[in-house]
């Protein structure tokens, strides 16, 4: 039986609740958390209460505020997860994927992302370039892989995103491109010019 004062008992309850909220944060595999994520994890529907809790944990350094409404649990967060948490929906594509998959050789520190709006932002030590694609493409998950709490284009989807926006882009190595997959994914763009560009790149590769 608890024998302390009611005031001490209430204080201990508050501390216990706070510890529980921290534990819930670390049960999540996410390294980046938005206001919406925190509301879901803490089951907090009241905006004022949510903001008060966030402010408390930022002050306690249990959360790192990266930008408005976006937080990291610690400094070892995923840059790709950050890039796709700023605007939703979004996914990693373009040079970031093509460099990773050996289609282009040029290194870029910038993370390239497909989103609803074109924008360049710097958050913490990362520069992120958002490029706009029409909604019918952005919202279509064909050729998009969800992994490690972020969405990323396959090689073929990133290749098509690139030639859709940049018709004459030079690629260093197209060996890893699966042309049949490109033919399937290309349908989502509903763009005859893209189909022509794809055929041209394939013809040049085959020669």
Of 166, 158, 207, give the one whose Cα is nearest residue 182. 158
Of 87, 106, 93, give the one whose Cα is nearest residue 171. 106
Domains and CATH numbers, the chain: 6-72 (1.10.10), 79-206 (no CATH)
Residue linked to tokens 């509903």: 190
The yes-or-no verdict on residue 7 having pLDDT over 70 is: no
Which helix (H) or strand (E) is 201 found in, with range?
Answer: helix 192-206
Kindly report, residue by residue over 137-194, the tens digit of the pLDDT: 999 999 999 999 999 999 999 999 999 999 999 999 999 999 999 999 999 999 999 9
Residue 32 to residue 149: CA distance in whole angstroms:
9
Q: Yes or no: say if 93 and 84 are a contact pair by the CB < 8 Å rule.
A: no
Kindly report, residue by residue over 62-108, the tens digit of the pLDDT: 999 999 999 999 999 999 999 999 999 999 999 999 999 999 999 99
Q: Yes or no: say if 189 and 140 are a contact pair by the CB < 8 Å rule.
A: no
Kindly report, residue by residue over 26-71, the tens digit of the pLDDT: 889 999 999 999 999 999 999 999 999 999 999 999 999 999 999 9
């Amino acid at each position: 039986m608890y024998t302390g004062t009611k005031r001490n008992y209430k204080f201990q309850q508050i501390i216990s609740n706070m510890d529980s909220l921290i534990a819930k944060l670390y049960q999540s595999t996410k390294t980046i958390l938005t206001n919406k994520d925190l509301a879901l994890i803490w089951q907090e529907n009241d905006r004022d209460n949510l903001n008060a809790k966030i402010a408390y944990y930022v002050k306690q350094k249990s959360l790192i505020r990266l930008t408005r409404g976006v937080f990291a649990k610690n400094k070892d967060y995923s840059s790709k997860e950050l890039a796709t948490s700023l605007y939703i929906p979004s996914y990693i594509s373009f040079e970031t994927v093509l460099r990773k998959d050996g289609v282009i050789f040029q290194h870029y520190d910038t993370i390239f992302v497909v989103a609803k709006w074109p924008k360049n932002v710097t958050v913490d030590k990362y520069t992120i370039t958002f490029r706009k694609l029409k909604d019918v493409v952005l919202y279509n998950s064909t050729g998009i892989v969800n992994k490690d709490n972020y969405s990323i284009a396959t090689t073929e989807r990133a290749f098509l995103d690139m030639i859709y926006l940049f018709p004459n882009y030079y690629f260093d190595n197209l060996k890893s491109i699966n042309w049949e997959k490109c033919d399937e994914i290309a349908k989502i763009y509903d763009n005859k010019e893209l189909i022509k560009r794809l055929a041209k790149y394939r013809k040049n590769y085959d020669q």
